[in-house]
Structure 1
Amino acid sequence: MYAWIWRKLPFGTPGKLIGSALLAGLTVVLLWYVVFPWAEPLLPFDDVQVTEDGGGTEPADGGPADGGTDGDGGDPDGGGADDYELPYDTETNNPVPDENGD
Structure 2
Amino acid sequence: MTSDNDNSERSERGGLNLFAAPRQKAKTTPPRKVKRLEKRISIDLIPMSLEEIEWAMEDAKVQEEEREIQQIRERIQRRKKAKAAAAAATSPPTSRN
TM-score (norm 1): 0.30
Question: Which of structures 1 and 2 has the bigger CA Rg?
Answer: 2
Structure 1 or 2: more helix by fraction? 2
TM-score (norm 2): 0.31
